[in-house]
Amino acid sequence: MGMLDGQRALVFGVANDHSIAWGIAQALHEAGASVGFSSVESLLERGVRPLAESIGSTFIEPCDVQSDEQIRAVFTKWRAAHGPDEKLDILVHALAFARREDLEGSFVDTSRQGFAVALDVSAYSLVAVVREARAAGLLQPGSSILTLTYYGAEKVVSNYNVMGVAKAALEASVRYLAADLGPEGIRVNAISAGPVRTLAAAGIAGFKKMYGSFADLAPLRQNISIEDVGRTALYLASDLSRAVTGETIYVDGGFHIMGVPSADA
């Protein structure tokens, strides 16, 4: 028997098999959950559908999270596909965006428009997705919501810039959502992952170098994988974490506990 037998999950943010969202989807599937997918339309046929079908998923719907209408449409289709009494046990939000020019150079040069786009896609979208799922009556006591964040939310990481500000807003949103939804028995948590080589990460100037030195600095002396994130997602999605909400849990080999690196590191 799987830990999530009979549960339904919906995962936003798979681009390809390197995506953190895919690592999470696989872990949920292996634990017995039935997993649906929503990604931007341009990714669906080439990247997402073959992966989704490889784990038996039939729910694969487009959504640009900058559109409330598109978010609403996903949940309307979810309801139509699964019936009026079926709820959503697990909701995964694993997506972010900032313009490439805002992920290099100095933060002080971030444009008004670049700031707005990064915050809208990377932070506000969690609020919008949760609100619409709840309005559609899909969340219930025991439902678990997960999002993905990064250490650049709390410390300055070169070139992460406006995305660090967006992740700080995302982490605060997790706490406010957890406080709002806790009385309904709905939990909201974030995973702060160490660097992973994905399409989104490739847009950050200097990522390769940072990724390369990470294992030397992290206490566990290794980079993390999407499977590592998937395992913590499984904990947060399941009853094992039933008293945990509003948290940011690090899956970073301990990197965030370190202060000044030693001279020989």
Catalytic residue positions, numbered = 150, 160
Instruction: Record the tokens describing residue 63, joined without a space.
Output: 């959504």
Q: In angstroms, what is the C-alpha Rg of the chain? A: 18
Applying CB under 6 A, which part among 131-139, 179-187, 194-202, 257-265 lies near ligand NAP? 194-202
199 touching ligand NAP, by CB under 6 A: yes
Burial class (CB in 10 A: 0-12, 13-18, 19+), 194: buried
List all residues 6 or more positions away from 5 whose beta carbon is below 8 Å from its beta carbon.
31, 32, 33
Instruction: Record the tokens describing residue 158, joined without a space.
Output: 């070169």
Please say whether the beta carbons of 71 and 63 come within 8 A. yes
Min CB(97)–ligand NAP separation in Å: 4
| Residues from 132 through 161 that contact ligand NAP (CB under 6 A) | 148-150
DSSP 59: -
- Considering only 4, 11, 15, 146, the residue that binds ligand NAP (CB under 6 A) is 15
Min CB(202)–ligand NAP separation in Å: 8
Distance CA 74, CA 257 (A): 39
- Considering only 157, 165, 169, 193, the residue that binds ligand NAP (CB under 6 A) is 193
- Considering only 9, 11, 19, 139, the residue that binds ligand NAP (CB under 6 A) is 19
Binding region for ligand NAP (CB under 6 A):
13, 15, 19-21, 39-40, 43, 63-66, 94-97, 121, 148-150, 193, 195-196, 198-201
